[in-house]
Amino acid sequence: MLGLYVSDHPLRGYEGALRRRTDTSIAELREAEDGMFRTVGGVVTNLNKKWTRRGDLMAVFDLEDLEGSIEVMVFPKTMTEHGHKLADDAVVLLKGRLDTREDSPKLICMEIEVFDTSSIRVSKPVRIKLPLEQVSEDAIDELKTLLGSHPGDSEVFLHLGDRHVLSLPADFNVDPAGGLVAEIRVLLGAESVLTG
């Protein structure tokens, strides 16, 4: 009701899985050229279904991800095929065309897919401890390569020294299974992965 999430954003924990199914984030979409076709994902908010003068059903809503939101228009033809998938707070993937002719950009929806969050396990984050004396360009490059070779849904937090914690972008979310933890320990030392 207030436009605020009291507990946590509905996409929290799913952003990595969503990102792998989309071309762009909403913030990046706003910078794209008029007429571009893109696939984006997010939460449906402020859903408003209305009838045209000809008696056809259409919808307007805001699609929101963790970086921003954009107005989406669903015209009658698309509404007939995909309208039943729309509900407030539904997590969806949308394919649409960007319309930047007015002051605020809009997405003209072509296809809607409900994003099934039930099959995604929200994993515990991976916390990597990196003493400041070990921070070097080579160590960071090796760590990036290692994380990139284990894509998944677990967030990664980098503990630099005793006082700084960096939350890495969703592009670096990992699957902690498959030997990743062991590989991090080989690279950075036995105490480098924090548990719990």
Q: Could you list the pLDDT tens digit for every one of the 196 residues in the chain?
A: 344 444 455 666 666 677 778 888 888 887 888 899 999 998 999 999 999 999 999 999 999 988 888 999 999 999 999 999 999 988 899 999 999 988 888 999 999 999 876 666 556 788 888 887 877 888 888 888 888 888 877 888 888 877 888 888 877 888 877 788 888 888 888 888 876 5
- Classify strands 69-74 and 91-99 as parallel, antiparallel or unpaired: unpaired
Rounded CA-CA distance 94/97 in Å is: 10
- If you search the block for the tokens 């990036």, which residue do you land on? 144
- Domains identified in the chain and CATH numbers: 15-114 (2.40.50.140), 126-194 (no CATH)
